[in-house]
């Protein structure tokens, strides 16, 4: 046998040995590098530090966004829409980024209660999440600002006469008893929402994409996750509540339908069908107290007309707010800061467009408290002022909490606090204010209870159905072509209310309600109407001597 194969074998063996030795020398270093590069599981301490940084960043950006939103609501122009969109874009992008990062701590063991709860809040507390794509975040913010501006500037311009803003149209709906006049005002306001339809549909697409990136099925699931229960179980909880209070509403609906039939005739108000929405005294038929005169119990009265009393006593917008502040001061709360009076909006300006929808603001989440509303001297706004101030005083009460805890247990809880305080506007309270000389005789209680039912009981199904509509939209059960049909199907199902006539194919009647283009979840108001009576019933807080 030739030596060559042996030499080749020897060389190969030596080469292999050298390679093995080299591998043995380098293996520990390589393994060490791999161990060093492998991501380490985050710790509970890191999670707590992350939450602290997130709160600090969101507090700063949130205040900037809030200030720009205030400016936009009070000065609706092209430039303020653009600036508000940019501020909202930055805030939303930060929320989405932080929410995505918060998911890193999902499996961390040993988290303290606050850190665990705050991580969940960071992931689920975004109302309109944007996709991580920067261009889509900018697009979504622009859509939100545009729809807010469209609503605030909205007006109905008839063929003859001046254009009518929402407040003027609401006055017609509340006061007129002429069906044709009511119908024109009702349909006129709904021309404002037509251009919003495509914008809203696109916003739904973007928000759903953002919700999916955060691990939710859709935006509706994300909203329902904020109630400290499985989001799949939350609708069942609402059904239970509705089944408990529904019979009250059905009795009220039956009575009101019969009385409206007497007023307008059964050709307009059928004896056994839904009530036409334009006849109920409210632009959205969500509360019915403005038709009290048509449905009042026989041979009884509310005992007084608060609107007439306020106007007769010379009240104006500011004095109504001062009366509300005095109510809280009498309970021992500190007076509102001077900046409240300098910066709030009480009266609709004559020289510019504003969003008149009443709202309470806490700009810096400390003491820069404000309300924004276009106040009319009437009973409804008198109650609304007490409600909005309830928000302000509650906001100030939790200002010492950390950023994520500056809020209520859930959004319905916050609304219920304001509503509970407005329940204190009783005849006894009005007498202490000097608005009534005497508390009406108990024979007038039936009328007062009817007024309360027209305001509170009538609202319940509307408070429930708005988000029932949105959740179906978010889940993709209906597209833009079916938005309006679904809206009226749900309104008839829950409210027994129907559109007064056939609606145009391109109508977008949901957009005529501020909270839809404004992206404000609405189930909070249904819950608030339940909670406020529970709060009022179970309150054990002693009333200070001399309190009004």
Split into its structural domains, the chain has a count of 1
Asked if residue 139 belongs to a domain, the reply is yes
Segment 429-453, tens digit of pLDDT: 999 999 998 887 777 678 888 988 9
Asked if residue 423 belongs to a domain, the reply is no
Band (pLDDT 50/70/90 cuts) for residue 99 is confident
* Helix H or strand E segment including 498: strand 497-498
At residue 92, the pLDDT reads 83
The mean pLDDT of 109-136, rounded to a whole number, is 89
* Helix H or strand E segment including 276: strand 275-276
Asked if residue 24 belongs to a domain, the reply is no
**Residue 14 pLDDT greater than 60, yes or no:** no
Asked if residue 135 belongs to a domain, the reply is yes
d(CA 241, CA 526): 10
* Helix H or strand E segment including 497: strand 497-498
Band (pLDDT 50/70/90 cuts) for residue 119 is very high
Angle at 473 between CA 69 and CA 141, to 5 degrees: 25
Asked if residue 163 belongs to a domain, the reply is no
d(CA 42, CA 482): 46
Burial of 248 (0-12, 13-18, 19+ CB in 10 A): middle
The mean pLDDT of 385-403, rounded to a whole number, is 93
Catalytic residues: 388, 515
Asked if residue 540 belongs to a domain, the reply is no
Residue 101 structure tokens:
């990062």
pTM higher than the cut 0.85: no
Residue 157 structure tokens:
């311009």
d(CA 67, CA 81): 13
Distant-in-sequence, close-in-space partners of 375: CB < 8 Å, separation ≥ 6 = 317, 320, 321, 346, 347, 381, 385
Provide the CB-side half-sphere exposure for 193 (13 A, CA).
Answer: 25
Band (pLDDT 50/70/90 cuts) for residue 302 is low
**Residue 371 pLDDT greater than 80, yes or no:** yes
| CB 540 within 8 Å of CB 515 | no
At residue 294, the pLDDT reads 95
Question: Which of 256, 190, 141, 169 lies closest to 510, judged by CA?
Answer: 190
Question: Which of 473, 547, 490 lies closest to 207, judged by CA?
Answer: 473
Query: Do the strands 369-372 and 155-156 form a parallel or antiparallel pair, or are they unpaired?
Result: unpaired
Band (pLDDT 50/70/90 cuts) for residue 421 is confident
**Could you please report the per-residue DSSP string of 349-412?**
-SSS----S-EEEETTSSS-EEEE----SSHHHHHHHHHHHHHHHHHHHTTTS-GGGSS-SSHH
Asked if residue 94 belongs to a domain, the reply is yes
At residue 438, the pLDDT reads 86
Question: Which of 467, 301, 359 lies closest to 73, judged by CA?
Answer: 359
Segment 472-519, tens digit of pLDDT: 999 999 999 999 999 999 999 999 999 999 999 999 999 999 999 999
Parent domain of 86: 44-154+192-215
**Residue 411 pLDDT greater than 90, yes or no:** no
d(CA 536, CA 543): 13
The mean pLDDT of 190-215, rounded to a whole number, is 94
Q: Which of 14-18, 38-42, 164-168 has the highest mean pLDDT?
A: 164-168
| CB 465 within 8 Å of CB 520 | no
**Residue 32 pLDDT greater than 50, yes or no:** no
d(CA 511, CA 127): 17
The mean pLDDT of 209-213, rounded to a whole number, is 91
User: How confident is the prediction for the chain on average, in pLDDT?
Assistant: 87
Asked if residue 50 belongs to a domain, the reply is yes
């Amino acid at each position: 046998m030739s030596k060559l194969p042996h030499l080749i074998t020897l060389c190969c063996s030596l080469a292999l040995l050298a390679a093995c030795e080299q591998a043995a020398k380098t293996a520990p270093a390589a393994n060490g590098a791999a161990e060093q590069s492998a991501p380490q599981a985050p710790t509970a301490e890191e999670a707590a530090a992350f939450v602290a940084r997130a709160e600090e960043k969101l507090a700063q950006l949130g205040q900037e966004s809030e200030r720009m939103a205030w400016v936009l609501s009070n000065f609706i122009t092209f430039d303020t829409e653009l600036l508000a969109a940019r501020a909202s874009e930055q805030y939303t992008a930060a929320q989405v980024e932080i929410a995505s990062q918060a998911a890193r701590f999902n499996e961390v063991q040993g988290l303290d209660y606050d850190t665990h709860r705050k991580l969940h809040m960071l992931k689920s507390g975004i109302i309109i999440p944007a996709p991580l794509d920067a261009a889509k975040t900018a697009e979504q913010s622009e859509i939100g600002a545009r729809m807010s501006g469209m609503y605030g500037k909205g007006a109905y311009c008839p063929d003859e006469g001046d254009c009518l803003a929402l407040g003027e149209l609401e006055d017609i709906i509340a006061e007129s008893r002429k069906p044709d006049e009511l119908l024109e005002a009702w349909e006129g306001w709904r021309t404002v929402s037509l251009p919003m339809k495509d914008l809203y549909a696109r916003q739904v697409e973007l928000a759903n994409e953002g919700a999916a990136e955060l691990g939710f099925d859709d935006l509706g699931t994300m909203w329902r996750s904020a109630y400290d229960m499985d989001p799949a179980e939350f609708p069942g909880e609402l059904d239970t509540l509705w089944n408990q209070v529904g019979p009250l509403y059905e009795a009220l609906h039956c009575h009101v339908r019969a009385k409206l039939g007497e007023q307008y005739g059964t050709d307009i108000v059928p004896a056994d069908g839904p009530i036409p929405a334009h006849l109920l005294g409210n632009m959205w038929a969500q509360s019915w107290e403005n038709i009290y005169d048509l449905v009042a119990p026989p041979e009884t009265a509310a005992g007084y007309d608060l609107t007439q009393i306020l106007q007769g006593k010379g009240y104006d917008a500011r004095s109504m707010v001062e009366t509300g502040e005095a109510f809280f001061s009498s309970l021992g709360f500190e007076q509102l800061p001077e900046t409240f009076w300098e910066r709030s909006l009480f009266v609709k300006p004559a020289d510019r467009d504003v969003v008149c929808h009443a709202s309470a603001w806490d700009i810096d989440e400390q003491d820069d408290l404000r309300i924004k509303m276009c106040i009319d001297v009437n009973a409804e706004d008198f109650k609304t002022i007490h409600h909005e101030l309830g928000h302000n005083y509650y906001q100030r009460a939790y200002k010492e909490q950390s950023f994520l805890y500056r809020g209520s247990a859930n959004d319905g809880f916050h609304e219920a606090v304001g509503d509970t305080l407005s329940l204190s506007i009783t005849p006894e309270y009005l007498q202490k204010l000097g608005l009534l000389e005497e508390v009406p005789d108990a024979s007038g209680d039936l009328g007062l209870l009817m007024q309360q039912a027209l305001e509170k009981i009538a609202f319940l199904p509307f408070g429930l159905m708005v988000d029932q509509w949105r959740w179906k939209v978010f889940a993709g059960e209906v597209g833009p072509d079916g938005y309006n049909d679904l809206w009226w199907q749900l309104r008839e199902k829950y409210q027994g209310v129907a559109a007064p006539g056939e609606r145009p194919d391109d109508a977008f009647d949901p957009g005529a309600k501020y909270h839809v283009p404004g992206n404000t979840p609405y189930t909070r108001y249904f819950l608030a109407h339940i909670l406020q009576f529970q709060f009022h019933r179970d309150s054990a807080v002693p009333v200070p001597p001399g309190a009004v």
